Amino acid sequence: MTIPGTPLLELRGITKRFPGVLALDQVSLSLYAGEVHMLMGENGAGKSTLMKVLCGAYRADAGEVFADGKPVEVRTAADATALGVAVIFQEYSLVPHLSIGQNIYLGREPLNRFGLVDHGRLHREARTVLDRLGLALDTRREVHGLGVAQQQMVEIAKALSQNARVLVLDEPTAALSDRETARLFEVIAELKKQGVGMAYISHRMEEVFRLGDRVTVLRDGKHVATLLAHEATPDDLVTLMVGRKVDMSYHRGERPVPGECLLDVQGIASVNGIRDVSLKVYAGEIVGLSGLVGSGRTEVARAIFGADKLTSGRVSFCGQTLRGSPTHARRLGMGLIPESRKQQGLALLRTVEGNLLLAGLARLFPSRLYQPGKAHTEARRRIAQLRIATPGPGTPAQSLSGGNQQKIVIGKWLVAGTRLFIFDEPTRGIDVGAKEEIFRLIDNLVHQGCAVLMISSELGEVVRVCDRAYVMKDRALAGELAQSQLSEANLLRMAMQHA
Protein backbone atom coordinates (compact mmCIF):
# COMPACT_ATOMS: atom_id res chain seq x y z
CA MET A 1 0.00 0.00 0.00
CA THR A 2 1.01 3.64 -0.38
CA ILE A 3 1.18 5.35 3.00
CA PRO A 4 -0.62 8.74 2.80
CA GLY A 5 0.77 11.85 4.44
CA THR A 6 -1.34 12.24 7.57
CA PRO A 7 -2.20 9.36 9.92
CA LEU A 8 -5.75 8.78 11.09
CA LEU A 9 -4.33 8.38 14.54
CA GLU A 10 -0.85 8.74 16.00
CA LEU A 11 0.61 8.00 19.41
CA ARG A 12 3.85 9.77 20.31
CA GLY A 13 6.11 9.00 23.25
CA ILE A 14 3.48 7.13 25.25
CA THR A 15 4.63 6.14 28.76
CA LYS A 16 2.59 4.11 31.24
CA ARG A 17 3.63 2.98 34.71
CA PHE A 18 2.01 0.52 37.11
CA PRO A 19 3.29 -0.18 40.65
CA GLY A 20 6.73 -1.72 40.16
CA VAL A 21 6.34 -1.94 36.36
CA LEU A 22 7.21 0.42 33.51
CA ALA A 23 4.71 -1.03 31.03
CA LEU A 24 5.34 1.47 28.21
CA ASP A 25 8.46 3.55 27.74
CA GLN A 26 8.25 6.33 25.13
CA VAL A 27 6.33 4.23 22.59
CA SER A 28 5.15 5.75 19.29
CA LEU A 29 2.77 4.29 16.72
CA SER A 30 0.96 5.68 13.67
CA LEU A 31 -2.09 4.30 11.88
CA TYR A 32 -3.25 5.31 8.40
CA ALA A 33 -6.57 5.03 6.59
CA GLY A 34 -6.97 1.65 4.90
CA GLU A 35 -3.99 0.15 6.72
CA VAL A 36 -3.70 -3.05 8.75
CA HIS A 37 -0.87 -2.32 11.16
CA MET A 38 0.29 -5.50 12.90
CA LEU A 39 1.52 -5.17 16.48
CA MET A 40 3.83 -7.92 17.71
CA GLY A 41 5.88 -8.74 20.79
CA GLU A 42 6.25 -11.30 23.52
CA ASN A 43 3.73 -11.43 26.34
CA GLY A 44 4.41 -8.47 28.61
CA ALA A 45 5.93 -6.41 25.78
CA GLY A 46 3.21 -3.75 26.15
CA LYS A 47 0.95 -4.43 23.15
CA SER A 48 -2.36 -4.62 24.98
CA THR A 49 -1.38 -1.79 27.35
CA LEU A 50 -0.71 0.49 24.36
CA MET A 51 -4.09 -0.39 22.87
CA LYS A 52 -5.80 0.28 26.20
CA VAL A 53 -4.23 3.73 26.24
CA LEU A 54 -5.52 4.25 22.70
CA CYS A 55 -9.08 3.26 23.64
CA GLY A 56 -9.15 5.24 26.90
CA ALA A 57 -9.15 2.25 29.26
CA TYR A 58 -5.79 3.46 30.63
CA ARG A 59 -4.58 7.04 30.87
CA ALA A 60 -0.99 7.57 29.75
CA ASP A 61 1.45 9.10 32.23
CA ALA A 62 3.24 10.90 29.39
CA GLY A 63 2.97 11.30 25.64
CA GLU A 64 0.60 12.73 23.05
CA VAL A 65 -2.22 11.50 20.79
CA PHE A 66 -3.01 13.03 17.41
CA ALA A 67 -6.09 12.50 15.24
CA ASP A 68 -5.84 13.65 11.61
CA GLY A 69 -2.67 15.52 12.58
CA LYS A 70 -4.31 17.46 15.42
CA PRO A 71 -3.60 16.90 19.15
CA VAL A 72 -6.48 15.31 21.07
CA GLU A 73 -7.14 14.13 24.61
CA VAL A 74 -8.00 10.46 25.24
CA ARG A 75 -8.82 10.33 28.93
CA THR A 76 -11.83 8.00 28.82
CA ALA A 77 -13.41 5.34 26.65
CA ALA A 78 -15.99 7.94 25.59
CA ASP A 79 -13.17 10.15 24.24
CA ALA A 80 -11.88 7.25 22.16
CA THR A 81 -15.36 6.38 20.86
CA ALA A 82 -15.88 10.01 19.83
CA LEU A 83 -12.70 9.72 17.75
CA GLY A 84 -14.11 6.63 16.03
CA VAL A 85 -12.00 4.06 17.88
CA ALA A 86 -13.52 0.60 18.52
CA VAL A 87 -11.71 -2.23 20.27
CA ILE A 88 -12.03 -6.01 20.33
CA PHE A 89 -10.06 -7.29 23.28
CA GLN A 90 -8.87 -10.88 23.64
CA GLU A 91 -10.94 -11.26 26.81
CA TYR A 92 -14.61 -10.67 26.19
CA SER A 93 -16.65 -7.76 27.54
CA LEU A 94 -20.11 -9.16 26.86
CA VAL A 95 -22.99 -9.20 29.35
CA PRO A 96 -23.92 -12.91 29.63
CA HIS A 97 -27.65 -12.58 30.32
CA LEU A 98 -28.39 -10.00 27.66
CA SER A 99 -29.23 -11.00 24.11
CA ILE A 100 -26.81 -10.81 21.19
CA GLY A 101 -28.60 -7.74 19.84
CA GLN A 102 -28.61 -6.01 23.22
CA ASN A 103 -24.87 -6.64 23.59
CA ILE A 104 -24.09 -5.27 20.15
CA TYR A 105 -25.91 -1.99 20.87
CA LEU A 106 -25.33 -1.80 24.64
CA GLY A 107 -25.33 1.87 25.64
CA ARG A 108 -26.31 2.89 22.08
CA GLU A 109 -29.81 1.42 21.90
CA PRO A 110 -32.14 2.97 19.27
CA LEU A 111 -35.11 4.76 20.86
CA ASN A 112 -38.69 5.23 19.69
CA ARG A 113 -40.61 8.49 19.76
CA PHE A 114 -41.51 7.90 23.42
CA GLY A 115 -37.85 7.67 24.45
CA LEU A 116 -38.02 3.92 25.02
CA VAL A 117 -35.76 1.28 23.52
CA ASP A 118 -36.99 0.29 20.06
CA HIS A 119 -36.34 -3.45 20.34
CA GLY A 120 -37.58 -4.23 16.85
CA ARG A 121 -35.18 -1.79 15.25
CA LEU A 122 -32.36 -2.91 17.55
CA HIS A 123 -32.66 -6.51 16.43
CA ARG A 124 -33.07 -5.58 12.74
CA GLU A 125 -29.88 -3.55 12.84
CA ALA A 126 -28.08 -6.28 14.79
CA ARG A 127 -29.18 -8.77 12.13
CA THR A 128 -27.62 -6.58 9.43
CA VAL A 129 -24.29 -6.48 11.28
CA LEU A 130 -24.28 -10.25 11.83
CA ASP A 131 -25.06 -10.81 8.15
CA ARG A 132 -21.85 -8.93 7.29
CA LEU A 133 -19.99 -11.60 9.26
CA GLY A 134 -21.98 -14.46 7.79
CA LEU A 135 -23.38 -15.44 11.21
CA ALA A 136 -26.74 -17.21 11.30
CA LEU A 137 -27.36 -16.44 14.97
CA ASP A 138 -30.65 -15.45 16.56
CA THR A 139 -30.12 -11.87 17.75
CA ARG A 140 -32.52 -12.54 20.66
CA ARG A 141 -30.45 -15.44 21.97
CA GLU A 142 -28.67 -14.77 25.29
CA VAL A 143 -24.89 -14.60 25.07
CA HIS A 144 -24.20 -17.01 27.96
CA GLY A 145 -25.42 -19.88 25.79
CA LEU A 146 -22.86 -19.23 23.05
CA GLY A 147 -19.51 -20.94 22.60
CA VAL A 148 -16.22 -19.08 22.82
CA ALA A 149 -15.92 -18.63 19.05
CA GLN A 150 -19.46 -17.31 18.74
CA GLN A 151 -18.90 -14.85 21.60
CA GLN A 152 -15.78 -13.59 19.85
CA MET A 153 -17.74 -13.00 16.67
CA VAL A 154 -20.38 -11.06 18.63
CA GLU A 155 -17.56 -8.86 19.95
CA ILE A 156 -16.45 -8.23 16.37
CA ALA A 157 -20.02 -7.43 15.34
CA LYS A 158 -20.31 -5.04 18.28
CA ALA A 159 -17.21 -3.17 17.11
CA LEU A 160 -18.33 -3.08 13.46
CA SER A 161 -21.72 -1.68 14.47
CA GLN A 162 -19.98 1.50 15.63
CA ASN A 163 -18.83 2.33 12.08
CA ALA A 164 -15.36 2.87 13.48
CA ARG A 165 -12.61 4.79 11.65
CA VAL A 166 -10.06 2.93 13.75
CA LEU A 167 -10.51 -0.71 14.72
CA VAL A 168 -8.24 -2.39 17.26
CA LEU A 169 -8.20 -6.20 17.16
CA ASP A 170 -6.42 -8.10 19.95
CA GLU A 171 -5.84 -11.71 18.80
CA PRO A 172 -9.30 -11.83 17.14
CA THR A 173 -8.84 -15.26 15.54
CA ALA A 174 -7.54 -17.04 18.66
CA ALA A 175 -10.82 -18.91 19.19
CA LEU A 176 -12.18 -18.96 15.64
CA SER A 177 -12.49 -21.86 13.23
CA ASP A 178 -10.88 -21.70 9.80
CA ARG A 179 -14.22 -20.82 8.20
CA GLU A 180 -14.90 -18.03 10.72
CA THR A 181 -11.34 -16.76 10.33
CA ALA A 182 -11.69 -16.67 6.55
CA ARG A 183 -14.90 -14.68 6.89
CA LEU A 184 -13.24 -12.24 9.30
CA PHE A 185 -10.42 -11.71 6.80
CA GLU A 186 -13.01 -10.91 4.12
CA VAL A 187 -14.54 -8.30 6.42
CA ILE A 188 -11.11 -6.82 7.12
CA ALA A 189 -10.43 -6.55 3.39
CA GLU A 190 -13.76 -4.73 2.92
CA LEU A 191 -13.03 -2.37 5.81
CA LYS A 192 -9.66 -1.53 4.25
CA LYS A 193 -11.45 -0.50 1.06
CA GLN A 194 -13.69 1.73 3.15
CA GLY A 195 -10.64 3.50 4.62
CA VAL A 196 -10.80 2.02 8.11
CA GLY A 197 -7.42 1.83 9.83
CA MET A 198 -6.80 -1.31 11.85
CA ALA A 199 -4.29 -2.06 14.60
CA TYR A 200 -4.05 -5.84 14.78
CA ILE A 201 -2.30 -7.71 17.61
CA SER A 202 -1.31 -11.25 16.62
CA HIS A 203 1.19 -13.97 17.41
CA ARG A 204 0.40 -15.86 14.20
CA MET A 205 2.99 -15.27 11.52
CA GLU A 206 0.66 -16.34 8.72
CA GLU A 207 -1.77 -13.56 9.71
CA VAL A 208 1.00 -10.97 9.81
CA PHE A 209 2.04 -11.65 6.23
CA ARG A 210 -1.45 -12.28 4.88
CA LEU A 211 -3.08 -9.17 6.35
CA GLY A 212 -0.38 -6.75 7.42
CA ASP A 213 0.78 -3.62 5.61
CA ARG A 214 3.24 -2.63 8.33
CA VAL A 215 4.50 -4.39 11.44
CA THR A 216 5.57 -2.75 14.70
CA VAL A 217 7.51 -4.79 17.24
CA LEU A 218 7.56 -3.98 20.97
CA ARG A 219 9.92 -5.45 23.53
CA ASP A 220 9.92 -4.81 27.28
CA GLY A 221 7.60 -1.83 26.85
CA LYS A 222 9.77 -0.18 24.20
CA HIS A 223 9.36 0.38 20.46
CA VAL A 224 11.93 -1.80 18.67
CA ALA A 225 11.11 -1.41 14.98
CA THR A 226 8.42 -0.69 12.39
CA LEU A 227 8.77 -2.54 9.09
CA LEU A 228 6.83 -2.98 5.87
CA ALA A 229 5.32 -6.45 6.19
CA HIS A 230 6.40 -7.60 2.74
CA GLU A 231 10.03 -6.71 3.53
CA ALA A 232 10.17 -8.74 6.78
CA THR A 233 10.65 -12.45 7.40
CA PRO A 234 9.40 -14.61 10.29
CA ASP A 235 12.98 -14.95 11.58
CA ASP A 236 13.41 -11.16 11.48
CA LEU A 237 10.29 -10.60 13.55
CA VAL A 238 11.04 -13.32 16.11
CA THR A 239 14.56 -11.98 16.63
CA LEU A 240 13.21 -8.43 17.08
CA MET A 241 10.57 -9.63 19.54
CA VAL A 242 12.88 -11.50 21.87
CA GLY A 243 16.17 -9.72 21.24
CA ARG A 244 17.88 -13.00 20.45
CA LYS A 245 17.66 -15.94 18.11
CA VAL A 246 14.84 -18.20 19.30
CA ASP A 247 15.22 -21.95 19.17
CA MET A 248 12.15 -22.93 17.17
CA SER A 249 13.43 -26.48 16.82
CA TYR A 250 11.13 -28.20 19.31
CA HIS A 251 10.36 -31.69 18.07
CA ARG A 252 9.00 -34.69 19.85
CA GLY A 253 11.97 -36.34 21.50
CA GLU A 254 12.15 -39.88 22.77
CA ARG A 255 9.23 -40.34 25.09
CA PRO A 256 9.12 -42.77 28.01
CA VAL A 257 7.34 -46.07 27.49
CA PRO A 258 3.71 -45.44 28.55
CA GLY A 259 3.05 -46.63 32.07
CA GLU A 260 -0.15 -47.27 33.97
CA CYS A 261 -3.51 -46.06 32.73
CA LEU A 262 -4.18 -42.87 34.69
CA LEU A 263 -7.40 -41.80 32.99
CA ASP A 264 -10.10 -44.19 31.77
CA VAL A 265 -13.22 -42.59 30.30
CA GLN A 266 -16.00 -44.98 29.34
CA GLY A 267 -19.07 -43.94 27.33
CA ILE A 268 -19.67 -40.58 28.98
CA ALA A 269 -22.44 -38.15 28.10
CA SER A 270 -22.95 -34.80 29.82
CA VAL A 271 -25.48 -32.03 30.33
CA ASN A 272 -23.56 -29.98 27.76
CA GLY A 273 -24.40 -32.41 24.97
CA ILE A 274 -21.37 -34.66 24.54
CA ARG A 275 -22.33 -38.28 23.92
CA ASP A 276 -20.71 -41.70 24.11
CA VAL A 277 -17.10 -40.52 24.53
CA SER A 278 -14.49 -43.09 25.55
CA LEU A 279 -10.74 -42.52 25.81
CA LYS A 280 -7.68 -43.51 27.82
CA VAL A 281 -4.54 -41.62 28.83
CA TYR A 282 -1.45 -43.39 30.17
CA ALA A 283 1.39 -42.08 32.33
CA GLY A 284 4.24 -40.76 30.22
CA GLU A 285 2.25 -39.75 27.14
CA ILE A 286 0.69 -36.67 25.61
CA VAL A 287 -2.71 -37.33 24.06
CA GLY A 288 -4.36 -34.78 21.80
CA LEU A 289 -8.06 -33.98 21.72
CA SER A 290 -8.72 -32.39 18.35
CA GLY A 291 -11.71 -31.29 16.30
CA LEU A 292 -13.24 -28.16 14.85
CA VAL A 293 -14.47 -25.31 17.04
CA GLY A 294 -17.81 -26.34 18.55
CA SER A 295 -17.12 -30.07 18.23
CA GLY A 296 -17.27 -30.60 21.99
CA ARG A 297 -13.60 -30.73 22.99
CA THR A 298 -13.89 -28.31 25.92
CA GLU A 299 -17.10 -29.97 27.04
CA VAL A 300 -15.27 -33.32 27.23
CA ALA A 301 -12.54 -31.77 29.38
CA ARG A 302 -15.07 -30.19 31.72
CA ALA A 303 -17.02 -33.43 32.05
CA ILE A 304 -13.87 -35.42 32.85
CA PHE A 305 -12.85 -32.89 35.50
CA GLY A 306 -16.30 -32.84 37.06
CA ALA A 307 -17.14 -29.26 36.14
CA ASP A 308 -20.14 -30.45 34.07
CA LYS A 309 -22.47 -33.17 35.29
CA LEU A 310 -22.44 -36.56 33.58
CA THR A 311 -25.74 -38.04 32.43
CA SER A 312 -24.20 -41.45 31.71
CA GLY A 313 -20.87 -43.23 31.58
CA ARG A 314 -17.93 -43.35 33.98
CA VAL A 315 -14.62 -41.54 34.55
CA SER A 316 -11.87 -43.37 36.44
CA PHE A 317 -8.55 -41.97 37.57
CA CYS A 318 -5.83 -44.30 38.87
CA GLY A 319 -8.50 -46.96 39.26
CA GLN A 320 -10.87 -44.79 41.31
CA THR A 321 -14.22 -43.62 39.97
CA LEU A 322 -14.56 -39.87 40.08
CA ARG A 323 -17.53 -38.53 41.99
CA GLY A 324 -18.23 -35.77 39.49
CA SER A 325 -16.70 -32.79 41.27
CA PRO A 326 -13.57 -30.73 40.57
CA THR A 327 -12.62 -31.02 44.25
CA HIS A 328 -12.50 -34.81 44.07
CA ALA A 329 -10.61 -34.69 40.76
CA ARG A 330 -8.03 -32.34 42.25
CA ARG A 331 -7.55 -34.49 45.34
CA LEU A 332 -6.90 -37.54 43.18
CA GLY A 333 -4.24 -35.67 41.19
CA MET A 334 -6.00 -34.16 38.18
CA GLY A 335 -5.64 -30.55 37.03
CA LEU A 336 -7.47 -28.49 34.40
CA ILE A 337 -5.83 -25.53 32.66
CA PRO A 338 -8.96 -23.97 31.12
CA GLU A 339 -9.33 -22.15 27.82
CA SER A 340 -10.52 -18.98 29.54
CA ARG A 341 -7.81 -18.35 32.12
CA LYS A 342 -9.25 -15.07 33.44
CA GLN A 343 -12.77 -16.38 33.96
CA GLN A 344 -12.00 -19.92 35.13
CA GLY A 345 -8.31 -20.29 35.95
CA LEU A 346 -7.34 -17.32 38.11
CA ALA A 347 -8.40 -15.22 41.06
CA LEU A 348 -7.40 -11.98 39.34
CA LEU A 349 -7.42 -9.77 42.45
CA ARG A 350 -5.17 -12.15 44.36
CA THR A 351 -1.40 -12.06 44.15
CA VAL A 352 0.81 -14.24 41.98
CA GLU A 353 1.76 -16.17 45.11
CA GLY A 354 -1.86 -16.54 46.22
CA ASN A 355 -2.82 -18.01 42.85
CA LEU A 356 0.17 -20.33 42.65
CA LEU A 357 -0.56 -21.85 46.05
CA LEU A 358 -4.34 -21.97 45.75
CA ALA A 359 -4.72 -25.59 44.60
CA GLY A 360 -1.82 -26.95 46.66
CA LEU A 361 -2.44 -25.57 50.15
CA ALA A 362 -3.44 -28.96 51.58
CA ARG A 363 -0.34 -30.57 50.10
CA LEU A 364 2.02 -27.82 51.27
CA PHE A 365 0.55 -27.53 54.75
CA PRO A 366 -0.89 -30.92 55.75
CA SER A 367 -1.10 -29.77 59.37
CA ARG A 368 -3.31 -26.87 58.20
CA LEU A 369 -0.83 -24.45 59.80
CA TYR A 370 0.12 -21.82 57.22
CA GLN A 371 3.85 -21.08 57.13
CA PRO A 372 4.59 -17.80 55.29
CA GLY A 373 8.28 -18.60 54.76
CA LYS A 374 7.51 -21.94 53.16
CA ALA A 375 4.80 -20.33 51.03
CA HIS A 376 7.14 -17.60 49.76
CA THR A 377 9.88 -20.13 48.95
CA GLU A 378 7.51 -22.36 46.98
CA ALA A 379 6.06 -19.38 45.06
CA ARG A 380 9.49 -18.04 44.13
CA ARG A 381 10.59 -21.51 43.01
CA ARG A 382 7.64 -21.81 40.63
CA ILE A 383 8.10 -18.26 39.34
CA ALA A 384 11.71 -19.09 38.46
CA GLN A 385 10.83 -22.52 37.03
CA LEU A 386 8.15 -21.13 34.71
CA ARG A 387 9.95 -17.84 34.01
CA ILE A 388 6.92 -15.80 35.09
CA ALA A 389 7.65 -12.14 34.35
CA THR A 390 6.51 -10.40 37.54
CA PRO A 391 8.03 -7.79 39.87
CA GLY A 392 7.49 -10.26 42.72
CA PRO A 393 5.16 -12.85 44.27
CA GLY A 394 3.04 -10.09 45.78
CA THR A 395 2.03 -8.58 42.43
CA PRO A 396 -1.71 -8.88 41.62
CA ALA A 397 -2.32 -11.49 38.92
CA GLN A 398 -4.54 -9.11 36.96
CA SER A 399 -1.60 -6.78 36.24
CA LEU A 400 0.38 -9.46 34.35
CA SER A 401 0.21 -10.20 30.63
CA GLY A 402 -1.93 -13.03 29.30
CA GLY A 403 1.00 -15.36 28.76
CA ASN A 404 2.30 -14.90 32.28
CA GLN A 405 -1.20 -15.44 33.66
CA GLN A 406 -1.29 -18.73 31.75
CA LYS A 407 1.97 -19.76 33.38
CA ILE A 408 0.49 -19.04 36.81
CA VAL A 409 -2.42 -21.39 36.09
CA ILE A 410 0.03 -24.12 35.08
CA GLY A 411 2.15 -23.44 38.16
CA LYS A 412 -0.90 -23.77 40.40
CA TRP A 413 -1.29 -27.40 39.37
CA LEU A 414 2.43 -28.08 39.67
CA VAL A 415 2.28 -26.97 43.31
CA ALA A 416 -0.70 -29.29 43.84
CA GLY A 417 1.33 -32.34 42.76
CA THR A 418 -0.88 -33.05 39.75
CA ARG A 419 -0.32 -36.28 37.75
CA LEU A 420 -2.78 -35.68 34.89
CA PHE A 421 -2.82 -32.24 33.25
CA ILE A 422 -5.73 -31.32 30.99
CA PHE A 423 -4.58 -28.40 28.81
CA ASP A 424 -7.39 -26.60 26.97
CA GLU A 425 -5.77 -24.42 24.28
CA PRO A 426 -2.50 -24.05 26.22
CA THR A 427 -0.91 -21.64 23.73
CA ARG A 428 -3.91 -19.45 23.00
CA GLY A 429 -2.74 -15.82 22.90
CA ILE A 430 0.87 -16.76 23.70
CA ASP A 431 3.83 -15.48 21.71
CA VAL A 432 6.10 -17.71 19.65
CA GLY A 433 8.92 -17.86 22.20
CA ALA A 434 6.58 -18.72 25.07
CA LYS A 435 4.92 -21.45 22.96
CA GLU A 436 8.22 -23.31 22.77
CA GLU A 437 8.56 -22.97 26.55
CA ILE A 438 5.09 -24.42 27.06
CA PHE A 439 5.84 -27.36 24.74
CA ARG A 440 9.03 -28.16 26.59
CA LEU A 441 7.26 -27.86 29.94
CA ILE A 442 4.62 -30.33 28.75
CA ASP A 443 7.39 -32.64 27.52
CA ASN A 444 9.12 -32.45 30.92
CA LEU A 445 5.90 -33.35 32.69
CA VAL A 446 5.52 -36.65 30.85
CA HIS A 447 9.19 -37.51 31.43
CA GLN A 448 8.44 -37.14 35.14
CA GLY A 449 5.69 -39.77 34.87
CA CYS A 450 2.74 -37.43 34.48
CA ALA A 451 0.19 -37.59 31.65
CA VAL A 452 -1.24 -34.82 29.48
CA LEU A 453 -4.54 -34.50 27.62
CA MET A 454 -4.12 -31.53 25.28
CA ILE A 455 -6.88 -29.70 23.41
CA SER A 456 -5.67 -27.46 20.59
CA SER A 457 -7.24 -25.74 17.60
CA GLU A 458 -3.77 -25.59 16.04
CA LEU A 459 -3.55 -28.86 14.12
CA GLY A 460 0.19 -28.40 13.69
CA GLU A 461 0.60 -28.33 17.48
CA VAL A 462 -1.21 -31.63 17.85
CA VAL A 463 1.01 -33.23 15.22
CA ARG A 464 4.23 -31.82 16.69
CA VAL A 465 3.54 -32.48 20.35
CA CYS A 466 1.21 -35.44 20.79
CA ASP A 467 1.85 -39.18 20.88
CA ARG A 468 -1.63 -39.91 19.58
CA ALA A 469 -4.91 -38.05 19.30
CA TYR A 470 -8.66 -38.45 19.59
CA VAL A 471 -10.86 -36.40 17.25
CA MET A 472 -14.27 -34.96 18.10
CA LYS A 473 -17.10 -34.22 15.69
CA ASP A 474 -20.60 -33.00 16.57
CA ARG A 475 -19.90 -33.59 20.31
CA ALA A 476 -19.10 -37.26 19.79
CA LEU A 477 -15.86 -39.14 19.24
CA ALA A 478 -15.06 -39.43 15.54
CA GLY A 479 -12.02 -41.65 16.02
CA GLU A 480 -8.42 -42.03 17.18
CA LEU A 481 -5.14 -41.55 15.34
CA ALA A 482 -1.89 -43.23 16.34
CA GLN A 483 1.32 -41.21 16.27
CA SER A 484 2.29 -42.69 12.89
CA GLN A 485 -1.06 -41.49 11.49
CA LEU A 486 -0.87 -37.96 12.90
CA SER A 487 -0.96 -35.31 10.21
CA GLU A 488 -2.92 -32.12 9.76
CA ALA A 489 -4.69 -33.64 6.77
CA ASN A 490 -5.77 -36.75 8.71
CA LEU A 491 -6.95 -34.69 11.70
CA LEU A 492 -8.99 -32.40 9.48
CA ARG A 493 -10.33 -35.28 7.40
CA MET A 494 -11.57 -37.11 10.50
CA ALA A 495 -13.01 -33.91 12.02
CA MET A 496 -14.99 -33.21 8.84
CA GLN A 497 -15.95 -36.73 7.86
CA HIS A 498 -19.57 -37.59 7.20
CA ALA A 499 -21.34 -39.70 9.78
386-398: pLDDT as tens digits: 888 888 899 998 8
Asked whether residue 448 is domain-assigned, the answer is: yes
Regarding whether 212 and 265 lie in a shared domain, the answer is no
Regarding whether 396 and 280 lie in a shared domain, the answer is yes
Q: For the chain, what is the domain count?
A: 2
Regarding whether 100 and 161 lie in a shared domain, the answer is yes
Asked whether residue 250 is domain-assigned, the answer is: no
Regarding whether 474 and 327 lie in a shared domain, the answer is yes
pLDDT at 347: 85
Asked whether residue 480 is domain-assigned, the answer is: yes
CATH, residue 474: 3.40.50.300
Quote the domain boundaries for residue 27. 9-242
Asked whether residue 247 is domain-assigned, the answer is: no
> What is the spatial distance between Cα 16 and Cα 61, in angstroms, rounded to a whole number?
5
Asked whether residue 369 is domain-assigned, the answer is: yes
> What is the spatial distance between Cα 160 and Cα 346, in angstroms, rounded to a whole number?
31
Q: Which of 485, 150, 451, 479 is nearest to 291 (CA)?
A: 479
Average pLDDT, the chain: 87
Regarding whether 116 and 56 lie in a shared domain, the answer is yes
Asked whether residue 256 is domain-assigned, the answer is: no
Cβ neighbours for 24, distance < 8 A, ≥ 6 positions apart? 14, 15, 16, 46, 49, 50, 53, 60, 221
pLDDT at 430: 67
Asked whether residue 461 is domain-assigned, the answer is: yes
- In tens, the pLDDT along 100-114 reads 999 999 989 999 999
Regarding whether 219 and 343 lie in a shared domain, the answer is no
Regarding whether 265 and 233 lie in a shared domain, the answer is no
pLDDT at 194: 84
> What is the spatial distance between Cα 399 and Cα 52, in angstroms, rounded to a whole number?
13
pLDDT at 481: 95
Regarding whether 199 and 89 lie in a shared domain, the answer is yes
| Boundary of a domain, candidates 242, 269, 284 | 242
Asked whether residue 73 is domain-assigned, the answer is: yes
Regarding whether 155 and 267 lie in a shared domain, the answer is no
pLDDT at 278: 96
Regarding whether 276 and 358 lie in a shared domain, the answer is yes
Regarding whether 155 and 219 lie in a shared domain, the answer is yes
pLDDT at 63: 95
Regarding whether 299 and 183 lie in a shared domain, the answer is no
Residue numbers of the chain with a pLDDT score lower than 70? 1-4, 43, 90-91, 174-175, 177, 242, 244-253, 293, 342, 429-433, 496-499
| Boundary of a domain, candidates 242, 277, 297 | 242
Note the pTM of the prediction, 2 decimals. Answer: 0.57
